[in-house]
Structure formats: C-alpha cells, structure tokens
Chain A
Amino acid sequence: MNIGVVVFPGSNCDHDCAHVVKDVLGHDVTMVWHKEASLAGLDAVILPGGFSYGDYLRTGAIARFSPVMQAVKQFAGDGGLVLGICNGFQILLEAGLLPGAMLRNRSLHFVCKDVYVRVENAATPFTSFYKPGQILRIPVAHADGNYYTDPVTLAGLQANAQVTFRYCTADGKVVPEVNPNGSLDNIAGICNAGGNVLGMMPHPERCVEAVLGHDDGRALFQSMLTSLEQKKLAVVR
C-alpha cells in the first residue's frame, strides 16, 4: 500500500506517521506537500498532528484552504480512507469533512499526557483490529480538543455509532473526571457516516512500539492497512 502523509507548514507529527507506516508496518509512504492538488496513486491519506499555520485564527482554519484539501475532499467523497490526528482532526472539522468544532480546553491548559480511551465502534476500517469496548492507553497533546457540536448533530453521531473513541478510566468507565479537555460526551474521536473518515485527538502514532513504552496505537494502522488490502483483493477477484 502507498499511504500519503500531508505536510502543512507547521505539521510536526508527519514523520512519526511515516515511521509507523514505513518502518513499523512495512508499507510505502508518500509525503504530500500541502500545495499538491492531486492524491493520485495513494491508497489512504493521513493528516498529521502539529500546528498548521501556527494555529492562527483558529486551529485548522487556514490549513483547510490549502490546495491539497480539495483533493482530500474528493478522495474522501470517493470512499478513500482519511485519518486526521489531533491537528488533522481539527482541520477535518474546519473543512466540514466531519461535523462539529473544537473549543479551547476547558482547563485552558495544553494537556500532554497518556489517557485511556474506549473503542466505541470496532467496526470501522480504522478500528477492526480492536475489540468493541477495548481500552487503549494513548497520549494526547493539545490545547484545543474540547469537541463541540449542536445537540441534534451529537444525537446523530451517537445514534449512528460515529463516536469512535471516548475518554475513560483505566477500567473503562466514561466519567467527566477523566475528560482531559471538556469535550462533549467525553468524545476523543469520531468518524463520518460512511466510516471512511476518522478524526481523533489522541496520537496513535506515538504508541506503536512496545520498546518505546506502549503499542496500543499500532492496531489502528494495522486495521487501516488490512482493510485497504482486503479492498484491493476484492477488486482483483
């Protein structure tokens, strides 16, 4: 598989994502500069974390107008897998590829620590290697992760199982005390109705090798790549 990692001015997790795909999982990676207008030849796209355009105006507000985002919209519209991590999630929201918006963390602090999240939907192409309800230990690092949307949209996300990850305790209880940023319903990640676009605040690319502490994020990339391989096989048949 050939996975595109988009590089905006200010992205800083792009090489971590590339490392996972290439060095850990043995697939090809193409770094895609944000001025590119085409994603031809790529099997999936990752919008990495960082501070695109210095977070000026709002997080992701300016990056969404980068030329590559038109191509990302098209790619997602055609059913392609798009993963947005942290700043990538914020960009997907600003671009309207996922519903809602990010507010400043309720504490006003930049939160950088390991948290626990519960896999709420293990039936997406990003989560199929997890068990439903599985608890992952995974780092967050953000100042604007306080997910907000209107009550109707929230109800829709819940009803359609689009809430993919929620912040929880080490034993899986979803309670406000462990919510690191004040997000609605302890939301840590959501997908679109088609399940092919996922946005998440935690950083799975920072926990893929046991030697570096923990590897709960690895299965997310394995899910993605396996789903792509299965899709390709189905086409060949």
Chain B
Amino acid sequence: MKAKIHVTLKQGILDPQGKAIEHALDSLGFKKAANVRVGKYMELDIDQTDKAKAEAEVKAMCEKLLANTIIEEYRYELG
C-alpha cells in the first residue's frame, strides 16, 4: 500500500516561503493568487494490506517524526 503524505505549517503560523512566492506570483501578474503555503510531500510504501492498520501506522509516523505538530499539520492518502 502506498501512503502519500503532505506536511504544511499550521494555519496562523507565518510561512515566509509562501509569502515570498505569493509576492513573486503577484509581480508576474497572477493577481488572483493568494494564501500561498509551502509544504513537504512524502510518499512511502507500507507492507500492509489492512487499511486501518496502515492508517494507524502512517498516523504514528506523522506524529512521531514526519511532522512537528507544534508548528505543522499533516494529511495523507492511502491507496
């Protein structure tokens, strides 16, 4: 089973990279783009056929290592 994991800074925490990109988009004429957030994307294979078990494992990975939940939030897809 493959897990696709996204980690981004929590809403409300300043994302300086997102801001810099937003300004660049603006200067390129993309005036309608707003609220750019930069994050990390990770994918990994899990040797697990039971979806609930795989989900529990991915969640534990995110909580323990992949995200720092003081500043970041995460979401994932399994398939």
Chain A positions within 8 Å of B, measured between CB atoms, are: 57-58, 61-62, 65, 94, 100-101, 103-108, 148-150, 182
Q: Does B60 contact A (CB under 8 A)?
A: no
B66's closest neighbor in chain A, by CB?
A: A57
Which of A65, A100, A107, A149 makes the CB contact (< 8 A) with B16?
A: A107
Q: How far is the CB of A225 from chain B (nearest CB, A)?
A: 33
Q: How far is the CB of B44 from chain A (nearest CB, A)?
A: 13
Chain B positions within 8 Å of A, measured between CB atoms, are: 9, 13-14, 16-17, 20, 40, 65-66, 68, 70-71
Contacts of B16 in A (CB 8 A): 103-108, 182
- What are some 22 contacts across the A-B interface (CB < 8 A)? A57-B40, A57-B65, A57-B66, A61-B65, A62-B65, A94-B68, A100-B70, A101-B68, A101-B70, A103-B13, A103-B14, A105-B16, A106-B14, A106-B16, A107-B16, A108-B20, A148-B13, A148-B70, A148-B71, A149-B70, A182-B14, A182-B16
Q: How far is the CB of B56 from chain A (nearest CB, A)?
A: 20
Contacts of B14 in A (CB 8 A): 103, 106, 182
Most chain-A Cβ atoms within 10 A of its Cβ — which of B16, B17, B40? B16
Most chain-A Cβ atoms within 10 A of its Cβ — which of B9, B14, B66, B70? B70
Q: How far is the CB of B24 from chain A (nearest CB, A)?
A: 12
Majority SS of interface residues in chain A?
Answer: loop
Query: In the complex, are the beta carbons of B70 and A61 less than 8 A apart?
Result: no
A109's closest neighbor in chain B, by CB?
A: B16
Expressed in whole angstroms, the Cα–Cα distance for A65 and B40 within the complex equals 21
Q: Which 7 A-B pairs rank lowest in CB-CB distance, beginning with the nearest?
A: A101-B70, A101-B71, A108-B16, A101-B68, A106-B16, A104-B16, A58-B68
Expressed in whole angstroms, the Cα–Cα distance for A153 and B17 within the complex equals 26
Contacts of B65 in A (CB 8 A): 57, 61-62, 65
Q: How far is the CB of A64 from chain B (nearest CB, A)?
A: 9
